[in-house]
Amino acid sequence: MKINQRNNKIESLYIHIPFCNNICTYCDFSKFIYRKDWVDKYLRSLKREFLSYNINKNEIKTIYFGGGTPSSLTCSQIRRLLLIFKDYLKIAKEITFEANPESLDVKKLKLLYSFGVNRLSLGVETFNPDILRELNRKHTNTQVKNIISKARDAGFKNINIDLIYGYKSQTLADVKKDVEEVIKLNVEHISYYSLLVEEHTKLYNQSYKPLDDDTLRNYFDYIHQVLKKNKYIHYEVSNFAKKGYKSEHNLTYWNNQQYYGIGLSASGYIGNVRYKNTNNLMKYFSNQYKYSEELVDIKDDLTYYLMLKLRLKQGFNKDEFKNKFHFDINTVEPLLNKLENHKYLHNTNNQISLTYSGMMILDDIVSELLLEIEKNYFI
Ligand SMILES: C[S@@+](CC[C@H](N)C(=O)[O-])C[C@H]1O[C@@H](n2cnc3c(N)ncnc32)[C@H](O)[C@@H]1O
Ligand code: SF4
């Protein structure tokens, strides 16, 4: 398939590093146990793939090193990785590096900071040692605290913590403890996910049953309420940030904007094509990067637009919607009114956005909207 017309600038670049020191029981992301020779080979392929795009360095505003565990690489491998993107790192505004607390140290922190990395994203998941053990996570709470303090000393002013709720044995008291602990760490950003039991994971094979929907909702209501009280803005379904610290990179995805994705299993969106890279490491080593490409027609684009934009507290702009899809969203006013009466949606002169209750049933609302728009538009 031919990738054509890049509309507007592409301002974001995602780089996947598929190596981890150990494999967590819940994770179905593309990753392998760290092997030095594989990482060395991988860095060569990654560089070739990156150069094949010929990306204009002045356009890139956000860069995200995700995984896998980028911090599982040795210092000299991290240096080689960063050298590939050196010129881009000098110009981009937000550069995130995902890390596991136990595989970071002062040397790596200083190295990252010296290359321009200015945002750290730490996978913490929970502060409960028993649950951490069940998940096969290897860090301790003391390591989390220490590494944050060392990151601050190294100069990092923007730190995210990933947490998960909904473990089968988790009580509301456990959730309260996790929220209390994360608030104490005073980080700028918190991603709080509900546990997904994905196929091909150890949890799935153990027939792990997560908590029921009502309990999950009850827990998230608590998380939402306490984080809000502590000045974290709930700006996306699973994400909270202090003022001025939203994840600019992830906003690219949620705003349905284009981005480059490189590395094993990475996805990207260029022009009218959304693509996915192979998750076969041997193929990737032999420079066969692509796995699939999806041509995005106007109907697909509309689906992505609603699915992604309505994840955001600010929703979407009615004029932008009209210009993009040549359809006035007010045409489906009866449905908008119904959703508004149920307190699921805000409908102002300019914007459509979901309330907190609406966000909690996002998929249902998007399906209803799409059906109604289709009745009036596509047929
Ligand atoms: C894929 S990891 C990569 C970063 C790093 N290796 C780590 O573990 O933190 C990014 C985050 O995805 C989230 N995650 C992964 N699998 C998940 C699942 N099955 N359910 C909910 N969240 C998940 C975790 O919060 C994790 O921190
Ligand atoms: S959650 Fe992070 S550390 Fe655990 S297996 Fe997945 S990518 Fe690796």
Closest of 259, 257, 268, 266 to residue 301, by C-alpha: 257
Task: Indicate whether 266 belongs to any domain.
Answer: no
Q: How far apart are CA 143 and CA 191, in angstroms?
A: 19
Which one of the ligands is nearest to 196 CA? 1
* 194-220 confidence digits (pLDDT tens): 999 999 999 999 999 889 999 999 999
- Residue 1: per-residue pLDDT: 44
Crossing angle for the helix pair 298-309 and 362-377, nearest 10 degrees? 150
* 142-190 confidence digits (pLDDT tens): 999 999 999 999 999 999 999 999 999 899 999 999 999 999 999 999 9
Mean pLDDT over 274-286 rounds to 97
Task: Indicate whether 104 belongs to any domain.
Answer: yes
- Residue 85: per-residue pLDDT: 98
Cβ of 67 closer than 6 Å to ligand 2, yes or no, is yes
> CB under 6 Å to ligand 1: residues?
20, 26-27, 29, 67, 69, 98, 100, 123, 125, 162, 164, 193, 195-196, 198
Dihedral of alpha carbons 251, 257, 260, 265, sign: positive
Question: How far away, in angstroms, is 341 Cα from ligand 1 center?
Answer: 36
Give the closest residue (by CA) to ligand 1 atom 27: 123
- Beta-bridge mates of residue 120: 97, 159
189, 72: one domain: yes
Mean pLDDT over 23-48 rounds to 97
Q: How far apart are CA 330 and CA 369, in angstroms?
A: 12
Task: Indicate whether 289 belongs to any domain.
Answer: no
| Of 254, 270, 302, the domain-final residue | 254
Question: How far away, in angstroms, is 79 Cα from ligand 2 center?
Answer: 22
- Residue 7: per-residue pLDDT: 58
Residue that is written with structure tokens 């284009």 in the block: 258
Mean pLDDT taken over the chain: 96
Contacts by 362-367, CB closer than 8 A, 24 or more apart: 362/237, 362/307, 362/310, 362/311, 365/310, 365/339, 366/303, 366/306, 366/307, 366/310
Residue 137 lies in domain: 12-254
* 82-106 confidence digits (pLDDT tens): 999 999 999 999 999 999 999 999 9
What is the SS3 assignment for the chain?
CCCCCCCCCCCEEEEEECEECCCCCCCCCCCEECCHHHHHHHHHHHHHHHHHHCCCCCCCCEEEEEECCHHHCCHHHHHHHHHHCHHHHHHCCEEEEEECHHHCCHHHHHHHHHCCCCEEEEEEECCCHHHHHHHCCCCCHHHHHHHHHHHHHHCCCCEEEEEEECCCCCCHHHHHHHHHHHHHHCCCEEEEEECCCCCCCHHHHCCCCCCCHHHHHHHHHHHHHHHHHCCCEEEECCEEECCCCCCHHHHHHHCCCCEEEECCCCEEEECCEEEEECCCHHHHHCCCCEEEEEECCHHHHHHHHHHHHCCECCCEEHHHHHHHHCCCHHHHHHHHHHHHHCCCEEECCCEEEECHHHHHCHHHHHHHHHHHHHHHHCC
Which one of the ligands is nearest to 70 CA? 1
Q: How far apart are CA 22 and CA 72, in angstroms?
A: 10
Task: Indicate whether 301 belongs to any domain.
Answer: no
Question: How far away, in angstroms, is 121 Cα from ligand 1 center?
Answer: 11
Question: How far away, in angstroms, is 178 Cα from ligand 1 center?
Answer: 16
Give the closest residue (by CA) to ligand 1 atom 8: 123
- Residue 377: per-residue pLDDT: 80
CATH label of the domain that carries residue 168? 3.80.30.20
Ligand 2 pocket test, pick from 28, 31, 34 with the greatest ligand atom count within 8 Å of Cβ, gives 31
Question: How far away, in angstroms, is 71 Cα from ligand 2 center?
Answer: 11
| pTM, rounded to two decimals | 0.96
- Residue 2: per-residue pLDDT: 44
- Beta-bridge mates of residue 316: 352
71, 174: one domain: yes
89, 160: one domain: yes
Mean pLDDT over 280-302 rounds to 96
195, 108: one domain: yes
250, 319: one domain: no
37, 111: one domain: yes
| Of 254, 271, 292, the domain-final residue | 254
Question: How far away, in angstroms, is 319 Cα from ligand 1 center?
Answer: 36
Q: What does each C-alpha distance from 25 to 132, 205, 294 come to in angstroms?
A: 10, 10, 31
Band of the pLDDT at 236, cuts 50, 70, 90? very high
**Token pair listed for 310:** 């309505």
234, 340: one domain: no
As a whole-number percent, the residues of the chain with pLDDT over 90 amount to 96
Q: State yes or no: pLDDT of 3 exceeds 80.
A: no
Q: How far apart are CA 153 and CA 173, in angstroms?
A: 33
Dihedral of alpha carbons 100, 105, 110, 112, sign: negative
Please, are residues 325 and 298 in contact by the beta-carbon 8 Å criterion? yes
Question: How far away, in angstroms, is 69 Cα from ligand 2 center?
Answer: 6
* 294-344 confidence digits (pLDDT tens): 999 999 999 999 999 999 999 999 999 999 999 999 999 999 999 999 999
159, 51: one domain: yes
- Residue 169: per-residue pLDDT: 86
Ligand 1 pocket test, pick from 17, 162, 206 with the greatest ligand atom count within 8 Å of Cβ, gives 162
Q: State yes or no: pLDDT of 351 exceeds 90.
A: yes
Q: How many domains does the chain have?
A: 2
Q: State yes or no: pLDDT of 192 exceeds 70.
A: yes
Cβ of 31 closer than 6 Å to ligand 2, yes or no, is yes
Cβ of 273 closer than 6 Å to ligand 2, yes or no, is no
Please, are residues 291 and 43 in contact by the beta-carbon 8 Å criterion? no
Question: How far away, in angstroms, is 163 Cα from ligand 2 center?
Answer: 13
- Residue 376: per-residue pLDDT: 86
Band of the pLDDT at 378, cuts 50, 70, 90? low
Cβ of 23 closer than 6 Å to ligand 2, yes or no, is yes
Q: How far apart are CA 190 and CA 233, in angstroms?
A: 10
